Chain A
Amino acid sequence: MDDPVIAIKNITKRFGDRVIFDRLSLDIYPGQTLVIMGGSGSGKSTLLRAMMGQVPLDGGEIIAGGRSIGSMTEPQLMDWRKSVGFLFQSGALFNSMTVADNLALTMREHSDLAESTIQIMVKIYLQMVGLRQHLNKMPAELSGGMKKRAGLARALMMQPQIFFYDEPTAGLDPVSSAQIDTLIADLHRKLRVTSVVVTHEIKSAFRVADRMALLHNGKFVVVGAPDEFRSSKDPLIRQFIDGLSVGPLSDPRGHEDYEKDILQLG
C-alpha cells in the first residue's frame, strides 16, 4: 500500500470539559474516498479543520506531505492549504462577490494568469458543476444546492489533489444530494483525487465511499470498507445505518439527580 497522504496520529482535543478527540489515529491513502461518519457534535467537522491547520490540537499530530501540520511555518501551512480543496457545509461563498468573482479570487491571489485566462477557467469549472449560466449572480440568488456546487467549483479552481467535504449534502433535497454525490464520485473517478467526506447522510456515504470510519466519543470505533459496514452486526454501526433511536449511540437521558434537579433539592 502507498504511503498515506495524511496520517492522523494519536490526536487529542478538548473544548472545556468536552473531549472531542481521544487519541484518535487514522491514515488516509492517495486516491481514496474516505467517508467519516458520526452523530451531530461528534467532532467530524473539527477534524477537517484540524487537518487544515485551523484548529490547534492538545496532543498528537497530523502529518501531511511529510510534515506535522502543527509545526508548519506560515508559508508551509499556506502551501498545504493551496493543495487542498475545501467544500464548506454552507458553501461559504463570499456574499459580496458574484459567483464568477468567488471562483476567480483564488486564481487572482495565487497565480500570475491573465484575467482573460482566469475568466475562461471560471466558465469551465462552472460548466463542470452545471452553473455556467449563473456566473453573474450573487450568492444570495442561489439555492442551497447551487451554492454548494459553486463552492465545489471554487475548490476545483486551484486543481488540488486532496478534497475535504464538510457535510456536502446536508439540508439538500434528494435530487440535489444525488447531484453533489455524483460530482464527488466523478471527481474521484476522473481525476483520482484523494477525498475526505464528512457526513451523517447514510445514502450519500455509501454512494461515494471507498472506505468508511465511524467517529464516536472522540475515537474511530469502526474503520472499514462500505460492504463491511453494510453487513456489520455491530450495534453501533447498525444503529447509525438503520437510524434507530435507541442504542449505544443515543444520548443518555440523564436520570441521575433528576428528582433532585426538578425539586431543587440540595
Chain B
Amino acid sequence: MFRQAIEVLGDFGLMLYRALAAIHESLVGGRGSRIGRANLWWQMNRVGISSIPIVCLVLFCIGAILELQMAKPLANFGVVPLTADIVSLATFRELGPLVSAVVLTGFGGAAIAAELGTMVVGEEIEALEAQAIDPIRFLVVPRVLATIIMLVCLTVLGDLVAVFGGMTVGFFWLGIGVRQYLAHSREMLHVQDFVTGLIKAGVFGLLISSIACFMGLRVKGGAEGVGLATSRTVVYTIVALILVDLLFTAAFFYLGF
C-alpha cells in the first residue's frame, strides 16, 4: 500500500516534470509550437470562458452571505460598515482563489479527466504516440497552462464580484453607502493581499489540471474506469486544494504577508 502510494506519487511527479520541461517546445520552439499555441488558446476558452458565469454567481453569493453573517456580530459593537473590511480581506486572500478553484475542479478538472480517460479507452493516446506526438506535450501542457492562466483571471474577476455581492447586500439591507463600502475595502486591502491570492490561484490551477490529466491518462477498464477517474479527480483535487491552501496560509502568516 505504502509502496504503491510512493509509485503513484513518483509517476505524478514525473508527468509534472515532463509537462514543465515541454512548455518551451510546446509554445515557443520546435515544430510542435504551431499546434501548441492554438491548442492553448482553445483550452483557455474551454476551461476558463465557460466557467465565468458560474464562478461569478457563486462568488457573488459568497460575498453576500459573508456580509449578512458578519452584520449581526458587528452590529453589537455598532461597526456594521466593517463588514466591508472582512468581506474584502477574506475574499482577496482566501475565498476568491479557493472557491474559484473548487468551481473549476468540478467544471474543468472533471471534464479534463473524463476527456483524457475517454481518449485512453478509444486508443487515441496510443494513436498519438504512434504518430510520434508526445501526449504530454500535446495534451497535458496546454491544459495545465490554460487552467493556471484562467484560474488567475477567474480569481481576479471572482474577487471583484464577491466584493460587489457584499456591497449589494450592504447597500440594500444594511444601509452601508457604496462610497463608504469601497473606502473601507480600499483601506483594508494591501497589494500583498491581492498578490498572495493570485499566487494561490496559480498553484491551485496547477494542482487541478495536473491531477485531472494524471487521473485521466491512467484510466483502465473502459467506461467504468472513466467514471471512476472523474469522480476521484474531484475528490482528490478538493482535498489537495484545502491542504495546499493551509500550507500557503501558514507560510504567509509565518512570513508576515
- The reply to whether B123 and A111 form a contact with Cβ atoms under 8 Å apart is no
- Residues from chain A with a CB closer than 8 A to the CB of B32 are 109
Interface string of B117-133 (1 = CB under 8 A from A): 01100111011011111
Query: Would you give the shortest CB distance from A146 to chain B, in whole angstroms?
Result: 16
Q: Are A81 and B130 closer than 8 Å at their CB atoms? A: yes
Residues of chain B within 8 A (CB-CB) of A81 are 129-132
- Decide yes or no: A88 and B31 within 8 Å by CB, A54-B129, A106-B133 being known contacts: no
| B34 partner residues in chain A, CB cutoff 8 A | 108-109
Within 8 A of B (CB), among A100-118: 105-106, 108-112
Q: Which of A30-38, A90-98, A190-198 lies at the binding interface?
A: A90-98
Is A132 engaged at the interface, CB distance under 8 Å to the other chain? no
Tell me, yes or no, whether B251 is within 8 Å of chain A by CB: no
Contacts of B35 in A (CB 8 A): 105, 108-109
Closest Cβ neighbor of A139 among chain B residues: B122
Verify A88–B123 contact, CB threshold 8 A: yes
Q: How far is the CA of A88 from the CA of B125 in the complex (A)?
A: 11
In the bound assembly, the distance between CA atoms of A105 and B124 in angstroms comes to 13
- Contacting residues of chain A (34-74) with chain B, CB-CB under 8 angstroms: 49, 52, 54
A229, B231: Cα distance in complex, Å: 51
Contacts of B138 in A (CB 8 A): 109
Q: Cβ of A52: which chain B residues have Cβ within 8 Å of it? A: 129-130
Chain B residues with Cβ below 8 Å from A54 are: 126, 129-130
Cα distance A96–B138 in the bound complex, in angstroms? 13
Closest to B30 in A: A109
Query: Interface size of B by Cβ–Cβ distance < 8 Å?
Result: 18
In Å, the complex CA distance between A92 and B132 comes to 15
A78-B132, A81-B129, A106-B133 known; A92-B124 Cβ under 8 A: yes
Count of A residues near B, CB < 8 Å?
Answer: 26
The interface residues of chain A lying within 8 Å CB-to-CB of B130 are: 52, 54, 81, 84, 86, 88
* Residue in chain A with minimal CB distance to B125: A92
Q: Are A92 and B133 in contact (CB under 8 A)?
A: no
> CB distance A95 to B132 under 8 Å?
no
- Assess whether A238 is interfacial by the CB under 8 Å rule: no
Q: Which of B35, B118, B126, B132 has the most CB of A within 10 A?
A: B132
Q: Which of B26-41 contact A (CB under 8 A)?
A: 31-32, 34-35
Q: Is the CB of B133 within 8 A of A112?
A: no
What CA separation (Å) do A95 and B138 show in the bound complex? Answer: 15
Which one, B31, B123, B126, contacts A109 given CB within 8 A? B31
Q: Which residues of A contact B (CB under 8 A)?
A: 49, 52, 54, 78-79, 81-82, 84, 86, 88-90, 92-96, 105-106, 108-112, 154, 158
The 10 A-B residue pairs with the shortest CB-CB distance, nearest first, are A92-B127, A86-B130, A92-B123, A81-B132, A78-B132, A82-B132, A88-B123, A106-B131, A108-B35, A109-B133
Known: A79-B132, A110-B132, A112-B31. 10 other contacts (CB 8 A): A54-B130, A82-B131, A88-B130, A90-B123, A92-B127, A94-B127, A95-B118, A95-B119, A105-B35, A108-B35
